[in-house]
Amino acid sequence: MSETLNKTTGPVDNSHSPNSYYRALSGEAAKLTSGFWAHRQAVNHKVSLKHGYAMLNKAGNIHNLKLAAGLESGNFRGINFYDETVYKWLEGLGWELGRAPDEELQALADEVISLIAAAQQPNGYLNSYYQVVEPERKWADLDFSHELYCAGHLIQAAIAFKRAVNDERLLEIACHFADHIESVFGFGKKEAACGHPEIEMALVELSRLTGEERYLHLAQFFLDQRGKKKMQGLGANGPEYHQDHVAIREADGVDGHAVRQMYLATAVADLYMETGEQALLETSQRLWEDMTRGKMYITGGIGSRYDGESFGESYELPADQCYCETCAAIGSFFWNWRMLLISGESRYADLMERLLYNGILSSPGLDGVSFFYVNPLMLRNGRYVRLSANPPEEQKSSGRPEWHKVACCPSNTMRLRASLSSYFVTSNDAGFQIHQYSNMAISFKDSQITVETEYPWDGQIKITVTESSDKPWALALRVPGWCQNFGMKINGQDANGSLQKGYVTLERIWKAGDVLEANFAMSPFLVEADPRIDSVRNCVAIQRGPIVYCLEEHDQESGVNLLDIMIDTGAEIISRRQPELLGSVVTLETTGYLSDRSTWQENNLYRPVASEIKKTSSDRKLNLIAIPYYAWGNRGLKSMRVWIPRAPE
């Protein structure tokens, strides 16, 4: 591998972390070249990041930093944690400039980095709200001040610029702030933690970048402050809202505010990679099992309650009133990436895939300038007051809002898309592993390969070796959890590799021109939920490959109410490629029935049940058309549902 590739890494660099099964590859070692995800990266580059800059100016985030720098006068605008949106957007800008240099984006970066430098106080402190509005209350209300939370996002933005484009300006600011934080917090100093976890994983990564173990120790300090039940909570939510209800090593399940829980779980996994403390790994495994066994939606989304944006009880997963905040899904993605690096187990990559194509991808509109904050699995009559974090009167009934008063989700999607290739491939001493499939060019030591595929619409993967050393090395491919049948060929001959931890590994002396072809059979199938999920009992969802589908009113017969639809679970499901629909998708068609409601008396909501429940002769047969769940809401908001009642036998 070239010297440049050794120096450039993505958001996580565990190359020297002793407790890792896989190593994250350089950000330049795996590049998306075309196809599904490369197109979305291009939209992020050309449209979303520039839109983000415009919105940050419009909402006042940039203005607030100018106030702190003494460059403007006026009143502070927005909420006390508005700086974090600037930092997350800036992180996305850093990764994107490393991926595809751009003079216009570079000018925006130069402007905002200079502004942040001007706003920083001589002692290193940096938070526009507490510098302008309440300077006497710095570090006074850690439950809700978000000072450390904002600092964490600043650190991550600084890491992006250093790793992606070797720009240290933001890193100097971030280290100065981190040093100030270290002077304030610690044993024998201020012993407390932030109400919103984030600083912990940022400090671990800063330690990895700089080699300064004191940042790692500070991250551990903040983790160890949790569980003392000092934080007041919010509304009906107690200290679990702030992740202060239980000591980290004693937690037996996910609880409280979903985003906070995910960011904290990510930091626990990060800290394990560095320290090897078994209790931290055991905590991570318990939390993951609890989440995936009873507190996660089919899309990978998490957070079933409005109240506190929080997890509910196990199996409390309402389809129509779920919260499923985009940031929670992205936080889960980050956490699962660390768990994959630690364990090498495909179940974590499977969940990352589920999130990528469903729970995360449903947030940004196809236009790149509109975003859902929450992601319900059912919408009645095109109305859902929580589609935005804004008050209902600020929403647009036509679809996704262009921004939010709390704009954490749009900026989060931007930074993830810009760094996406960092999560697709890893390496170890034997070779490298492909976890997510896309058209890519991959470099590993002295070897190079290209990947060609129509994934996620087609399960055929073609891998061509373009350059190779004369020594044997291993190539491992994840077998997707949804796949029931697969086959592999090398140069046209059947290949039988070893199957371990959900990966097929093929080791040989590869030569330039060798072609590996994998075929993961991709047919539509129906999914049912654990019957303890009361809200979707006797319903099914439709999935094809990694993509969960939904019915949207736009595609059904005119006048059909989605509340009256049932699906024939024995009918064939037909796949149709639709290049002109919703940015090119595969739609699914099957048979359903429209329930005859005429037997209900007009004013009756309830009635005695008939002795026999069956499909009546008056139920009308109809054709159902399903689209990828991620694409809903791009043609205006109308009714939508993922879970469909079964038609009686």
Under DSSP, is residue 431 helix (H, G, I), strand (E, B) or coil? strand
Task: Give the pLDDT confidence score for residue 386 in this predicted structure.
Answer: 56
Of 219, 238, 218, nearest to 229 (Cα)? 238
Q: Residues 10, 337: contact at Cβ < 8 Å?
A: no
* pLDDT (average), residues 585-610: 85
Contacts of 473 (CB under 8 A, 6+ apart): 430, 431, 432, 444, 445, 447, 507, 510
- Mean predicted confidence (pLDDT) in 484-488: 96
Does the pLDDT value for residue 592 go beyond 90?
A: yes
Quote the pLDDT of residue 5.
35
Tell me if 560 sits within 8 A of 594, measured CB to CB.
Answer: yes
pLDDT per residue over 353-402, tens digit each?
Answer: 999 999 999 999 999 999 999 999 999 877 665 555 554 434 444 689 99
Confidence at residue 123, expressed as pLDDT on a 0 to 100 scale: 98
Give per-residue pLDDT as tens, 450-477.
999 999 999 999 999 999 999 999 999 9
> How far lies 265's CA from each of 238, 284, 453, in Å?
19, 7, 33
Residue 600 binned pLDDT confidence (cut-offs 50, 70, 90): confident
And the tokens for 549? Answer: 């589908």
Mean of the pLDDT values across residues 580-585? 98
84 half-sphere exposure, CB direction, 13 A CA radius: 25
Whether the ω angle into residue 122 lies within 30 degrees of 0, i.e. cis, is no
pLDDT-derived band at 337, boundaries 50, 70, 90: very high
Q: How crowded is residue 54: how many other Cβ atoms within 10 Å of its Cβ? A: 12
From 322, 324, 408, 550, the catalytic residue: 408
Sheet of strand 30-34: strand arrangement: 30-34, 439-444, 447-453, 460-467, 515-520, 486-490, 493-494
Query: Phi and psi for 106 in degrees, rounded to 5?
Result: -65, -40
Answer whether residue 93 shows pLDDT above 60: yes
Contact 463, 450 (CB under 8 A): yes
pLDDT digits (tens, 9 = 90+) for 31-55: 999 999 999 999 999 999 999 999 9
Which residue type occupies 588? L
For residue 27, the model assigns a pLDDT of 61
Mean predicted lDDT score pLDDT of the chain: 94
Is 309 labeled as catalytic in the residue annotation? yes
- Of the candidates 537, 1, 578, 529, the one whose C-alpha atom is nearest the C-alpha of residue 294 is 529
pLDDT given at position 392:
41
Q: Given a cut of 60, is residue 2 above it in pLDDT?
A: no
Does the pLDDT at position 16 exceed 70? Answer: yes
Superfamily classification of domain 425-520: Golgi alpha-mannosidase II (2.60.40.1180)
From the candidates 96, 309, 325, 553, which is the catalytic residue? 309
Angstrom distance (rounded) from CA 359 to CA 154: 26
pLDDT tens track for 346-356: 999 999 999 99
Q: How far is residue 181's CA from residue 612's CA, in Å, rounded to a whole number?
A: 68
The whole-number average pLDDT for the span 164-190 is: 98
What per-residue confidence (pLDDT) applies to 619? 84
Q: What is the mean pLDDT of residues 624-629?
A: 98
Quote the CA–CA distance of 26 and 233 in Å, as a whole number: 40
pLDDT digits 0-9 by tens, 398-449: 689 999 999 999 999 999 999 999 999 999 999 999 999 999 999 988 899 9
Amino acid at 344: G
Is the pLDDT confidence value at 1 over 90? no
State residue 6's pLDDT score. 36
Alpha carbon 169 to its chain centroid, in Å, reads 28
Structure tokens at 397: 């009934």
Annotated active-site residue 408? The verdict is yes
Q: Please, what is the end-to-end C-alpha distance for the chain in angstroms?
A: 60
d(CA 155, CA 261): 20
Residue 607 is predicted with a pLDDT of 82
Q: How many beta carbons lie within 10 A of that of residue 519, not counting itself? A: 16
- C-alpha distances (whole Å) from 510 to each of 436, 441, 449, 463, 468 are 22, 16, 10, 12, 6
- pLDDT, one tens digit per residue, over 109-148 is 999 999 999 999 999 999 999 999 999 999 999 999 999 9
Backbone conformation region of residue 464, classed left if phi is above 0, alpha if psi is from -120 to 50, else beta: beta
Domain ranges of the chain: 35-170, 425-520, 529-645
Per-residue pLDDT band at 309 (split at 50, 70, 90): very high
